[in-house]
Amino acid sequence: MNVVAPEPPTGRVLGVHVAGQKVYLALRTEGTLEDHHDLRRIEPSQYMGSAEALYDFCQRFQQLLSECQPSLVAFLHTRKYQPNSYADAFKRASIESAVMIAARAVNVCYTLIRQEDAATELGLPARWKAPELTEAAMKLLPTQPLYWRDRSLAYAAAVTATALNEAQA
């Protein structure tokens, strides 16, 4: 089996932010948000067993990536180091793994964006709190589309990933 490395990211970046079991999305193309109904949020099915729901989620996310064709998936890693329970931590890690697997399956680059990097990119001071990051992210666009409170953090991940890639180039 030949393994081909994904092309370096250019143009379209899909930001991803997980809140609970919901995965919020923001596709950034040439500095603007593409606000299609199927690019707002996705979540594992609540009507299947955990393994089946995760597999189904991975397949649907892979289909979404095939349709929107980003060059990069930017997953926002939150600073909440102590989840409410091991079950919550497992769910989040499972979702993140499914996103990584789906991206690899369609040959799309994947990067993990630290909240600290997003805060720096958005111009927050050295000591900031999570609500400040959300408020700064919400101001990235003049209008607030559906689910913007959570999607703005996905958009901030996409903005940060683009800036980090440009700095490395």
* Calpha distance 122→145 (Å, rounded): 19
- Cβ-Cβ contacts under 8 Å for 7 (sequence gap 6 or more): 71, 107, 109
CATH 3.40.50.11710 for domain 12-168: no
Cβ-based neighbours of 16, under 8 Å, separated by 6 or more: 23, 24, 25, 73, 74, 75, 76, 99, 154, 157
Distance CA 123, CA 121 (A): 5
pLDDT band at 169 (very low <50, low <70, confident <90, very high): low
Q: Encode pLDDT of 147-158 as tens digits.
A: 888 899 999 999
Residue-range domain boundaries for the chain: 12-168
pLDDT in tens, 66-112: 999 999 999 998 766 555 777 777 788 889 999 999 999 999 999 99
Q: Quickly tell me which residue has 């597999």 as its tokens.
A: 55
Question: What is residue 20's predicted lDDT score, i.e. its pLDDT?
Answer: 82
